[in-house]
Amino acid sequence: MRSLIERHDTCVVMPTGGGKSLCYQLPALALGQTAVVVSPLISLMQDQSAQLAQMGIPAALLNSTLSQDEQSAVVAKARRGEFRLLYLSPERLAQSSTISWLRNVPLSFFAIDEAHCISEWGHEFRPDYRQLSALRTHFPDSPIAAFTASATQRVRHDILHQLQMRHPHKYIASFHRANLQYMVRQCEAGTQMEMLLRALRRHAQSNVIVYAPTIARVEEVVAILAQQRIAALPYHGKMEAAERRTNQERWMSDEVRVLVGTIAFGLGINKATVRAVIHLSLPRSIEQYYQESGRAGRDGEQAECILLWQKRDAGLLAHFNQQINDAAERDRAWQRYYDIRNFAESTVCRHRQICLHFGEKPAWDSCGVCDVCTPAPEWFSAPATKPSKKKMNAPVFVTAVPIKTGASEDVSDPELHEYLREWRRRMAKERGVAAFVVLHDTSLQEICRHKPASLADIRQIHGFGERKTETYGPSILDALAKFRAGDRIVAPPQANRGVTA
């Protein structure tokens, strides 16, 4: 933050949930001009600008979802310096017309989110990001800041080169996420679903992300879970944008606890209480796995990262590699293949492998957490059998044995917790924003524990500033008063529970 306020080019590598957004949002406020944030996803821009608006911070986005009149209004306000943060896609920023009117905006700096996308060595290379190299030419006096969670040493160097950074200040956080328990298992054909069901029953009352390799597999898994009386939502690229948004919001607001998605899901997801991320295939790279599994345990509490892969996954990745025409890109894909294959099959500490991959040299050899360094729990290591078709088609009633995850799950009054979650869902629907924009999970849990009796009390809750207290405080106090008077949710939605009986 200090580097940006002092107008230095800056490169920041922090894990998912490490606070990268705050690193450019706060300097933007402090400098009193407009910071342009380059973001790859419309939904991510919408969520961040909505959260800022809730805090009374003038922010806007400019993308294809806005009408021409709305876009013109944003541009006019930007020229007058009315925004502190302005979110643009890399495609929009590459347009000559955008460059033209941006020259008339009082700029503080450019913040490039997901900056690894600019590098051909990155696992999510996007050609549109390559055009950001022209920023230095068009705006020679404006500092440039790059932010990413998953850049190897080689990718970091490429980011600095592509963005033509001048004597950048570099901040590289540790890649060691000690609260994550990595568990990897090669499954035989037909046993993967039993392992998935074991994991979901273990996390029956928790938020879970399941990554499947294809759209067809996403739909298949959701259907099988429905047969097992486990409510789950799909998320993939062939769904209508509105349906994807609705499913994401239902999961974010705890209406349904399990989301099954392709890699299209998750970028910018701001949910702190995900207790497990489960992969049903071998990821394309360690960077991809680190980024996706890192969506678990962002609250710092214990969480599980479970990789259930099959031999055929490696064959499928090899097949895709062979289809790449560009020789250099094909070589990079094969290197990623060997790295992730070694990660899955190695008997070396999982955490240590990840740190070394990103250029960090830990002083320890054993993390004491992953399945290599400590015996895997019985539910994970016990033999799995292929269930019969008859068994898979029959509804089963299960007893959940959730893991103990620490303070974030310590809700002294579960009934009040559910009551306030319903209040949050209703409030979010009324205002047309995501539930986490109204109230983060950690804030909701803190309200349940402290039961504030005044606006001054609410002001002491994590996540509540003056604007948010003014906006939601009276309604929260009213909800708490009604709960004390005996008001309850008459019929909580069946989908609220991860496992139903």
Is the model more confident about 400 or about 90?
90
| Judgement on whether residues 25 and 167 belong to the same structural domain of the protein | yes
- Quick check: is 404 in a domain? no
Is the model more confident about 271 or about 160?
160
Q: Which of 154, 172, 190 is the last residue of a domain?
A: 172
Strands 258-261 and 207-211, by their bridges, are parallel
- Percentage of the residues of the chain whose pLDDT score is greater than 90: 64
| Judgement on whether residues 154 and 204 belong to the same structural domain of the protein | no
- Quick check: is 399 in a domain? no
Residues 6 or more apart in contact with residue 242 via CB below 8 angstroms: none
- Quick check: is 501 in a domain? no
Task: Look at residue 118 and give its three-state secondary structure.
Answer: helix
Q: Give the CATH number, domain containing residue 206.
A: 3.40.50.300
- Quick check: is 406 in a domain? no
Instruction: Kindly provide the b/e burial profile for residues 41-55, where b requires at least 16 CB atoms within 10 angstroms of the residue's own CB.
Output: ebbbbbbbbbbbebb
Rounded-to-integer distance, Cα 242 and Cα 60, Å = 21
The pair of structure tokens assigned to 200 is 């979901």
| Judgement on whether residues 109 and 65 belong to the same structural domain of the protein | yes
Inter-axis angle of helices 327-345 and 350-357, nearest 10: 160
What pLDDT is stored for residue 406 in this prediction?
A: 41
Rg (CA), the chain: 23
**Range in 20-29, 389-398, 479-488 the model is least confident about:** 389-398
CB 206 within 8 A of CB 276: yes
Q: Which of 172, 197, 213 is the last residue of a domain?
A: 172
- Percentage of the residues of the chain whose pLDDT score is greater than 70: 92
| Judgement on whether residues 381 and 415 belong to the same structural domain of the protein | no
Q: What is the pLDDT of residues 199-239, one digit of tens each?
A: 999 998 899 999 999 999 999 999 999 999 999 999 998 99
**Is 70 exceeded by the pLDDT of residue 456?**
yes
| Judgement on whether residues 343 and 426 belong to the same structural domain of the protein | no
| Judgement on whether residues 164 and 184 belong to the same structural domain of the protein | no
Is the model more confident about 285 or about 435?
285
**Is 80 exceeded by the pLDDT of residue 142?**
yes
Q: Read off the pLDDT of each residue in 114-125 and give the average, rounded to a whole number.
A: 88
The pair of structure tokens assigned to 151 is 């850049």
**Is 50 exceeded by the pLDDT of residue 367?**
yes
What pLDDT is stored for residue 306 in this prediction?
A: 97
Predicted model pTM: 0.82
**Is 50 exceeded by the pLDDT of residue 494?**
no
| Judgement on whether residues 155 and 67 belong to the same structural domain of the protein | yes
Q: Read off the pLDDT of each residue in 161-171 and give the average, rounded to a whole number.
A: 95
Rounded-to-integer distance, Cα 89 and Cα 87, Å = 7
| Judgement on whether residues 365 and 441 belong to the same structural domain of the protein | no
**Is 60 exceeded by the pLDDT of residue 492?**
no
Q: What is the pLDDT of residues 229-282, one digit of tens each?
A: 999 999 998 999 889 988 988 898 888 999 999 987 876 677 888 999 999 999
pLDDT-derived band at 396, boundaries 50, 70, 90: very low
**Is 70 exceeded by the pLDDT of residue 412?**
no
What pLDDT is stored for residue 429 in this prediction?
A: 83
- Quick check: is 145 in a domain? yes
Domain count, the chain: 3
**Is 80 exceeded by the pLDDT of residue 387?**
no
| Judgement on whether residues 385 and 438 belong to the same structural domain of the protein | no
- Quick check: is 405 in a domain? no
Instruction: Kindly provide the b/e burial profile for residues 259-288, where b requires at least 16 CB atoms within 10 angstroms of the residue's own CB.
Output: bbbbbebbbbbbbbbbbbbbbbbbbbbbbb
| Judgement on whether residues 53 and 188 belong to the same structural domain of the protein | no
Q: By residue range, what is the domain housing residue 152?
A: 2-172
The pair of structure tokens assigned to 475 is 């309604």
- Quick check: is 46 in a domain? yes
Q: What is the pLDDT of residues 87-96, one digit of tens each?
A: 999 999 989 9
Q: What is the mean pLDDT of the chain?
A: 88
Q: What is the pLDDT of residues 1-16, one digit of tens each?
A: 999 999 999 999 998 7
What pLDDT is stored for residue 432 in this prediction?
A: 77
The pair of structure tokens assigned to 14 is 């922090």
Q: What secondary structure letter does DSSP report for 409?
A: G
CB 356 within 8 A of CB 153: no
How crowded is the C-beta side of 400, counted as CA atoms within 13 Å?
18
Q: What is the pLDDT of residues 177-198, one digit of tens each?
A: 999 999 999 998 789 999 999 9
Q: Which of 172, 206, 230 is the last residue of a domain?
A: 172
**Is 60 exceeded by the pLDDT of residue 363?**
yes
What pLDDT is stored for residue 266 in this prediction?
A: 72
| Judgement on whether residues 53 and 137 belong to the same structural domain of the protein | yes
Q: Give the CATH number, domain containing residue 465.
A: 1.10.150.80
Overall size of the chain counted in residues: 501
- Quick check: is 67 in a domain? yes
| Judgement on whether residues 144 and 253 belong to the same structural domain of the protein | no
